[in-house]
Every structure is written in C-alpha cells, then in structure tokens.
Structure 1
C-alpha cells in the first residue's frame, strides 16, 4: 500500500506507479466516494454523465405519470383495473 499526503490546499499527489497502472495522465478525472468502511475510493472516470445524453435523439413526445403507469402495466402483462 502506498501512502499519500494531503496538502494545505486539499490536494493529493498520486504516485507515478499508481498513475501508470491506472492509465492516468494530466487532466484525467476521478470519481471519489467513501465506502461502507469509511475508506476514500477513487475510480478513474471513464466518461462524464453528460456524455451519456450528448448524442441522444430529441424527444418527440412526452408522457405524464398516468401514461407511464399504463405503459409499465402493459409491459408486465397486466392492464389497469
């Protein structure tokens, strides 16, 4: 396990061997979270959430909640009573 030090600005330097193993380069983004044991977990961000919707076709119609409920009921094989 490698030890890193937190700077007064709240920054961490990731040692070269870890950067190389993860394929991190300057400007790489990491997703940060805290696991159930209170450990900081850093995971390379393979994409930005906005990227998922960037090339999505425009929505041609909208549905209200009743329409959605009917569509879900039909998909699971039952119609509304």
Structure 2
C-alpha cells in the first residue's frame, strides 16, 4: 500500500506508483469523491469531455420522442 505525508500547507505528494498507475503528469487534475464517511476515492481527471466526441456514431434512422414513448408504452403493456 502506498502512503504519503500531508504537509503543513495542505500539500501532499502522490507516490510515483500511484501516479504511474493513473497516468498522471504534472499539471493534471485529480478529483476526490467521498465514498463513505471518512473514506474518499481519488480519480484522475486527465481527459476532457471533448475527447469523447465521435465515440458513439450517429443513428442511421432518427426516432421521434413520440415514437420512443409509444415503444416504451408497448413494452410496458407486455409485462
């Protein structure tokens, strides 16, 4: 298990093993999320949302909201 020391100004050095595993480089951001009271998870925020562009192709046929609602209603009627 990696560990680090909290300095007087609130700074901490992320251990090299953790930085390497997360792919962190100088200037990258990390986010902290409270999982349980007193327990946090750290997530590397190294990719922008724009890097996701193009991952999902556009549908060949567009579907209207009315068509979606009709399909949902029909599926609900089957159960």
User: What is the TM-score when the length of structure 1 is the normalising length?
Assistant: 0.55
Which of 51, 70, 76 pairs up with 2:69?
76
Runs of 4+ aligned structure 1 residues displaced above 4 Å come to 72-75
Question: Match of 1:43, SS?
Answer: strand
Between Structure 1 and Structure 2, the one with more strand by share is: 2
Which structure exhibits the higher relative contact order, with contacts defined as CA atoms closer than 8 Å and separated by 6 or more residues?
2
Structure 1 residues 73 and 38: CA distance shift in structure 2, 3 A: farther
Match of 1:43 in 2: 43
RMSD: 2.6
State the alpha-carbon separation in 1 of the partners of residues 23 and 16 from structure 2.
10
- Per the normalisation by structure 2, the TM-score is 0.56
3-state SS of 2:36 partner: coil
The structure in which a higher percent of residues are helix is 2
Structure 1 unaligned regions, length at least 5: 53-71
| Aligned equivalent of 2:55 | none
2:34 is matched with 34
